[in-house]
Chain A
Amino acid sequence: MATEVLWWIFAGGIVGASLGVVFSGSVIHSAIFLILSLCGVGAMYALLMVEFLALVQFLIYGGAVTVLILLALKLTRMGSGEKINGRQAPVGAAVALALMAVLISVAVRTSWPGDVSDRPANIAMDLISQKLFLDFGAPFVIASVLLLVALVGAIILARQEDE
């Protein structure tokens, strides 16, 4: 019962924050709203008893990504003042609404198998590590290579050229 109420609070928060991200007048405000939204999703993970992922979410999104974004915003001297909506806004809204309609209708109309009631309390850490390092070892290593490449690429892209 309590989890249900919590769920609805968190859900409301997430949606509200996302609306803020997309519709806000100032870019900095949008960044702040983004942090809120992402942390809300992290809380949602915790509700789903996947604490490991909640931690990862907070750390990476809340810690690294948003910092990056704010940094970039400051470096490119973003402020407020310009018109916020591009030329495609109306069509974009229509498209987004259509997409939402499709997705929701599919989600609601499908009968999902299995039921909800019995779920383990939490997930053992060793199960996660076993899966991550043994069964999905190759993607894991590739992901690390990907990060390396992204790192190097970002440095190359963003450095100052010598005059």
Chain B
Amino acid sequence: MVPLENYLVLSAILFSLGVYGVLARRNAVLILMSVELMLNAVSLNFIAFSVYLDPDRILGAIFAVFVITVAAAEVGLALAIVIRLFRNRATSNVDEAAILKW
């Protein structure tokens, strides 16, 4: 089998890409998609650890189930916000939602 480090490196790459997406893109929905990427990277990490290191081999998977659950809930809510934002401002460009400033 593939050594553990492979999985870890893979998840690191995924995570970093997600971070870049969050920081560098303008579209709100796209930022959400990058967050999904990050969450997936984390789940992958957990499962890899649990399979390779945990004798019960199952705890990481349970955790990943919960991560997926929460991620789904969060996406739903976040998109509702984006829709709201779009309705108020006719744009979903995050750069332009900057009222709460000094």
Contact = CB atoms under 8 A, between A and B. Distances in A.
A151 B4 CA distance: 38
A41 B64 CA distance: 12
Contact of B79 (A49, A57, A69, A77): A69
Band of interface residues on B:
35 or more
A75 B92 CA distance: 11
A113 B4 CA distance: 10
B9 A116 contact: no
A121 to B, nearest CB: 11
A31 to B, nearest CB: 7
Given A82-B93, A96-B23, A158-B83, A50 B47 contact: yes
A69 B32 contact: yes
A109 to B, nearest CB: 10
A127 B9 contact: no
A22 B74 contact: no
Nearest to A44: B44
Interface of A is mostly: helix
A146 B69 contact: yes
Contact of B27 (A78, A100, A143, A154): A78
Interface residues of A, number: 84
A41 to B, nearest CB: 5
Contacts of A120: 57
A143 B80 contact: no
B29 A119 contact: no
B29 A73 contact: yes
Closest 7 CB pairs of A and B: A92-B23, A150-B73, A107-B8, A100-B16, A103-B12, A96-B20, A157-B80
28 contacts: A4-B2, A15-B17, A21-B34, A22-B25, A48-B48, A50-B61, A56-B65, A61-B36, A61-B68, A65-B71, A65-B72, A68-B75, A68-B76, A78-B92, A82-B93, A85-B24, A104-B8, A107-B8, A114-B53, A116-B1, A117-B1, A119-B51, A128-B62, A131-B59, A132-B62, A132-B65, A147-B69, A147-B72
Interface of A: 3-4, 7, 11, 14-15, 18-19, 21-22, 27, 30-31, 34, 37-38, 41, 44-45, 48-50, 52-53, 56-57, 60-61, 64-65, 68-69, 71-73, 75-78, 82-89, 91-93, 95-97, 99-100, 103-104, 107-108, 112-114, 116-117, 119-120, 123, 127-128, 131-132, 136, 139, 143, 146-147, 149-151, 153-155, 157-158
